[in-house]
Structure 1
Amino acid sequence: MRYLFLLNPTAGKRDCTAELAPAIRAAAQRAGIPPEKRKVVVTQYAGHARELAAEAAHTAQADGEPVRIWTAGGDGTFNEALTGAQGCGLAAVGCLPFGSGNDFLRTYGTREEFNDLDAQLAGGEVDIDLMQTDLGLSATICAAGLDAQVAYGIPQFRRIPFCGGEMAYALSIVRQLCGHIGRNVTFTIDGEELTVDCLMCAVCNGRTYGGGFYAAPEAQPDDGWLDVFIIRRVSRLTIARLLGMYKSGRHFRNGELTEQAKPCFIYRRAKCVSLRPADGRGPIVATADGECAPCDAITAQLKPLAGRVLLPKPAYERFMAQRASV
């Protein structure tokens, strides 16, 4: 078994590499992993983690020796490595949460569990569903509408001096709320077509996105289904209450929308979801696992058990126990 750690120095609020590299070496030594079987690499540019993971997966495929790959960064860095290792049954990818969002891990456990290097090295591999989208591979959620527009606008405010992550996020929200809210969107959900005056929507394999919005609080990433939530357009006065419900996951309980949520939400389970603007106002902004862009149309297609991921020991044991109980 080989072990590869990919450290993104630009993820999150500060460079994690100086403190993390020696901590990884110490944890590997405690786990009995010899130096020649482990490697720590600092990524140099966007897409580098994908290239390094693809190279490691290719080597594993060629010589038959499995490789475990961890990324230290956010969901985007994790997604890069997962994409690079895609298709190699001898490669599995895990994450150390050093980014700003880290939504992937919330479906499986806590930040503390995923930051525990000893638990990571003692953990295990599981197969999960993935989505293939027009923005690339996704392990968590593909979303479009107001929330994606907010995410898309954040980098513009980060260029302002002393405008950090939370301030940039707040300013982007204000700007979106001052503009035109909502779009007419046509959805095709496993063959069912419906046009909705839509505030935003989320096609979910995992449970959270946007730094902790529990869009799909009961999603199971290995059940062969995508959970689809469409939020109808509401007044500006209602948005704050609606987003509060959405962030905490109070809109969905025991497999169905709550009574409070039913007037504003549409829920479906599906294998394939496509959407396109139906109002003639140009592209709709969409986001998936760190990628964000305007799209003329977007499709999310389920890829059953196509991802092999690493979970730290407590999360792995819970996941396997839950799978055994189904």
Structure 2
Amino acid sequence: MSTAPSPTSVPVILNPAARNGAVAKRIEPLQTAFAANGMEAVLVESTSEQNASDLAAEFAASGVPTVASLGGDGLVRAVAAGLLGTGTSLGIIAGGRGNDFIGKLGIPKDIATAAAVVANGRDRSIDVLDLDGQICVGNVSLGLDSAVQEYADSARFIKGHWVYLYGVVRAIAAPRRIDLALTIDGERVDFRGLSAGFANSGRYGGGLKLSPEAKLDDGLIDVVLLKDAFLPRLGAELVSFSLGKHNLHPNIHFSHAREIHISTPKGAQPVEIVADGDAVAHTPATLRLRPESLKVRVPAGQAQ
């Protein structure tokens, strides 16, 4: 990267091939929307998540005030990793299927309105999750959530957030139990059940509520454990998840933490870990919170 953009230009990191070219179709509307707000969108193509992080870090080091991402939560996570702890804020233009993180932030999916947020919004400092050095802006999960994501990713003829409903149905049909040995703020918790979720934003799967009370700047990780349940009961539990009514079902355990070590009992197979909708690791791993370490552009009228 040779020179920094001018003050009225904003680097927009994207992968035009993402979602089978769906992101590329949003480029022209994005450029028009930025121009309408007195800005220039400087398109910067990334080749991988690590490349997106490196590009964001370079822009931050050169003093660019805002770097935007055009993509889904996975790209947001990658760009955020490069901006963490800097004075550069993250602008977000929706380009994914679920777009759960911007939903929590109150950023519209509409390109024109999101561009106006980048131009005229305010900066908000939020927490992020750190999974052994990998940054996560939304949620980390194991078990049923991983299966839902796996089935959703395999869907070829279902579009948008409907793929997550398809994933839920498939996951319920053959639920996978997990055994975990958790250390939550120093306290050992042995868990056998269907799902373990650790939330920052509390939203996932195109609007489902993993933790309806989760806050992005409270300095806490929301812990949500779904215990084992028979199939009819499991359906009720998942409806509770989607509606955010966790307190109605005793099989859902809810708590808060600042650091969690996630492992499996001796002799058990490692369990896949999903962050922001992507499989990123396997147990064992340690999850920590990095409080108010990321600046994000949000609507100016949003409450502090």
TM-score (ref. length: structure 2): 0.86
Superposed CA deviations along residues 152-194 of structure 1, whole A, max 9, x for unmatched, are 3544x35xx7576778756755664455632222221111211
Alignment deviations for residues 195-237 of structure 1 (CA, whole Å, 9 cap, x no partner)? 1222101111112012222011121111111111111111122
Alignment of 1:175-186 (within 5 A): 176-177=171-172, 179=174, 181-186=176-181
Aligned to 1:24: 30
Is the contact between residue 179 and residue 268 of structure 2 (CA under 8 Å) also seen in structure 1? no
CA RMSD of aligned residues (A): 2.7
Q: 1:211 to 1:28 in 2, by over 3 A?
A: closer
Task: Name stretches of at least 5 consecutive residues in structure 1 with no aligned partner.
Answer: 61-65, 252-257, 321-326
Bigger Cα displacement from structure 2, 93-102 vs 143-152 = 143-152
SS at match of 1:94: strand
How far apart, CA to CA, are the structure 1 residues paired with 2:205 and 2:197? 11
Q: Out of 134, 137, 140, which is 1:139 matched to?
A: 137
Q: 1:44 to 1:302 in 2, by over 3 A?
A: closer
Q: Which position in structure 1 is the counterpart of 2:58? A: 55
Secondary structure at the aligned position of 1:317 is classed as coil
Question: What's the counterpart of residue 63 of structure 1?
Answer: none
Aligned equivalents of 1:319, 1:302: Cα separation in 2: 23
TM-score (norm. length: structure 1): 0.81
Distance change (3 Å), C-alpha of 1:30 and 1:165: closer
Amino acid at match of 1:95: I
**Structure 1 CA distance for aligned equivalents of residues 46 and 101 of structure 2:** 20
The residue type paired with residue 273 of structure 1 is I
CA-CA distance at 1:76 after TM superposition: 0.3
Same amino acid, percent of matched pairs: 25
Q: Which secondary structure does the structure 1 equivalent of 2:301 belong to?
A: helix
Q: Tell me the matched-pair count.
A: 296
- 1:264 is aligned to 251
Match of 2:220 in 1: 225
Counterparts in 2 of 1:278 and 1:153: CA distance versus 1, 3 Å: farther
User: Which residue in the other structure is 1:97 paired with?
Assistant: 94
Cα deviation, 1:6-61, whole Å, max 9, x if unaligned, reads: 2332444652334x33333333333333x5xx51223344543223212211222x
Distance 1:108 1:162 in 2: 30
1:290-309 alignment runs, 5 A limit: 290-293=277-280, 295-309=282-296
Specify the alignment match of 2:4 in structure 1: none
Q: Taking structure 1 as reference, are residues 52 and 290 closer, same or farther at Cα in structure 2, changes over 3 Å only?
A: farther
Helix, strand or coil for the counterpart of 1:128? strand
Cα distance change of structure 1 residues 271 and 166 upon mapping to structure 2, 3 Å threshold: closer
